[in-house]
Amino acid sequence: MNNATLGLIWAFSFVILEAAQAVFFGGVFQDYDSFLIGASVFGFTAVGTLAWTHFRYPDQLLIAWNNGHALLGLNLSTAFVWVAYFFALQVIEPAVVFTIFSGLIPVAILIFSALGVPEASPLRNRIEGAGLVIVIIAVIYLAAITLLGQSGFVRGGWMVALGGLLLTGVSAVSLAAMMIYSQRLDRLGVAPVAQYGLRFPLYVVVALVAAGFGLDTKDPVELQEFLIVILIGFIIMAFPVFAMQKAISLMSTLTLAAITALGPLFVFLFQIVESRVDYAPATMNGLAIYFAGALLAAFGGARRSTGKAAKT
């Protein structure tokens, strides 16, 4: 099996598992401090992967340490993704946050490419380009209805809505940057397992500080219940992130970003299965436009990726 096909498998594994987590397991975490859960799940798994890398491939850790700018960029971008996304969810409709976030990732990759960042791949064909244009239209529409108060909800006036939209944009740009730094380290010889461990130290520190300040404090829970949730998190939180890490090493950043943009569609499909689709009419219109563009962009990117692999 060639790298392009493997990359597509890992990429779709990430998208589908993330969507399933959000729909079918999202309620599991509602009674727990999200920062404490994140710090525990990603902290323990990062320590495990770093220990494994230290004993098996210590040279990879040395390479990462000697490329401090990329390592720092990987940590900063990872922390910004999670923190900015969390705060955006607190003020505007989650469906809008997730859709705008997903749609802006490939746009950010294209901007980085235009700025000359070598790991940011450019547009490859008209199909992909047409799909991304539709995605941008949908993102603008969703942002507009949020500012106008026509989406599901906004916890405040238009200034609060604007703040939520800006945080969503920061989160999307940060994820695009994370893809770029990951691919840079991969080209230097740092494998996905090592990168998984190397990307979370700063996030774990930030999450523990946030938990200490009680930014997402919930009612007290039994230690046994908390440990069970952590174990569930290893499967439904850590593995999808690792799947993305593997995909980054096997495909272009724009193709991965285009496939990642399908996340809202899979969430919507899983919600239909669960019989829980409840969006404001204006939001639903924006999602319909977005789904069409995301499917077209993903088809164009995947077609280009597998076609290129076949030729080589």
Tens of pLDDT along 57-92?
999 999 999 999 999 999 999 999 999 999 999 999
**What pLDDT was estimated at residue 308?**
55
Tens of pLDDT along 248-266?
999 999 999 999 999 999 9
**What pLDDT was estimated at residue 310?**
45
pLDDT tens for each residue of the chain, 312 residues long: 688 889 999 999 999 999 998 888 877 777 889 899 999 999 999 999 999 999 999 999 999 999 999 999 999 999 999 999 999 999 999 999 999 999 999 999 999 999 999 999 999 889 999 999 999 999 999 999 999 999 988 999 999 999 999 999 999 999 999 999 999 999 999 999 999 999 999 999 999 999 999 988 888 888 898 999 999 999 999 999 999 999 999 999 999 999 999 999 999 999 999 887 788 999 999 999 999 999 999 999 887 665 554 444
**What pLDDT was estimated at residue 198?**
97
CA 278 to CA 143: how far, in whole Å?
19
CA 213 to CA 107: how far, in whole Å?
35
Half-sphere exposure of 6 (CA within 13 A, CB side): 9
> Can you give the residue ranges of every domain in the chain?
3-311
**What pLDDT was estimated at residue 311?**
47
Sign of CA dihedral 310, 10, 137, 19: positive
Amino acid at 240: P
C-beta separation of 255 from 119 below 8 A: no
CA 275 to CA 271: how far, in whole Å?
6
Query: b/e string for 254-270 if b means 16 or more Cβ within 10 A?
Result: bbbbbbbbbbbbbbbeb
**What pLDDT was estimated at residue 231?**
92
Packing angle between helix 68-91 and helix 94-114, nearest 10 degrees? 150
